[in-house]
Copies of this chain bind each other. A is one copy, B any other.
Amino acid sequence: MKPQVLLVECEDRPGLVHGITGVLFHKGVNVVGNQEFVDSTRRRFFMRTEFEGAVEETEVLPLLRKVLPDDAEVRFARTIPKRVVVLASREHNCLADILVRHAFGELNAELLAVVSNHDLLAPLVAKFGHPFHHLPASGTDRSAHEEALLKCIEAYQPDYLVLARYMRILSPEFVRRYPARLINIHHSFLPAFVGARPYHQALERGVKVIGATAHFVTDELDAGPIIVQQVIPVDHTHDAADLAQAGRDVEQMVLARALKLVFEDRVFLCGNRTVIFD
């Protein structure tokens, strides 16, 4: 039997762990894994507990609320897979990797549909038997496009949206509809290059590593809480196309890792950063 997972986040105060574990102990469950973290600057407490034993969320949560501050967010992780819609544009790598991992049960997710502003990746998605929605963005203004997008997405009632190299900037209004539920992957460099054609900028500067960052999307573009980051080495023999390929490889790897963590309820948000119980 897979263990159940309890998630708690609240203002920090003395006795929280004692109180929470007391409830679990008295219900007779067996804690098999327990991780806590206190952000001392923000005075926030985070806890993720894996336990075995036949208890219902409905009987445990009221008991837990008694030992927790009023602001506490406390819940059992949903044992059913996360409902996910993926947005893509023309690059296939991240999307294909998600399709394969989903097909073989590696992600704790149900892939509901792929939505794209281009139709290029329709055949790839068709191979794996998922709905593909082509919602062109050109020839329409952003708000009209996002309205169509929202209508299409909301029909699926997803828990999470994944931007798998979706190349359009979403409006703050759109983003706010999916707080902590919108995951993006973007290229990153040391030093970082902003603006157009980042790989050409990186080439001109002669970077020696290419990285990728998976993060939650917030109002401020590309500045949301970071989930996973990694880099791979490159050198002067690599042209812009090689750097772009290196970028795609590391993006695919980093996004896969981030999705695994998020979909297994291992990621908390704490201000503009993440607490990850891996």
Contact = CB atoms under 8 A, between A and B. Distances in A.
A17 B34 contact: yes
A229 B128 CA distance: 31
Nearest to A258: B208
A63 interface: no
A219 interface: no
Interface in A1-55: 14-15, 17-18, 21-22, 24-25, 28-38, 40
Interface in A209-232: 209, 211, 213, 222-223, 225-231
A188 interface: yes
- Chain A contact residues, majority secondary structure: mixed
Interface stretch (A70-78, A162-170, A174-182, A269-277): A269-277
Interface stretch (A108-116, A144-152, A233-241): A233-241
A60 interface: no
A14 B249 CA distance: 35
A278 interface: yes
A92 B99 CA distance: 13
A231 B206 contact: no
Interface residues of A, number: 71
A205 interface: yes
A61 interface: no
Given A18-B22, A235-B278, 10 more contacts: A15-B21, A18-B18, A93-B100, A191-B213, A204-B271, A205-B223, A206-B272, A208-B227, A208-B228, A237-B278
27 contacts: A17-B17, A18-B18, A21-B21, A22-B22, A31-B38, A32-B40, A35-B36, A37-B237, A92-B104, A96-B104, A97-B97, A100-B100, A103-B124, A127-B127, A127-B128, A189-B190, A190-B213, A206-B225, A206-B273, A207-B226, A208-B227, A208-B229, A209-B231, A235-B276, A236-B274, A236-B276, A237-B278
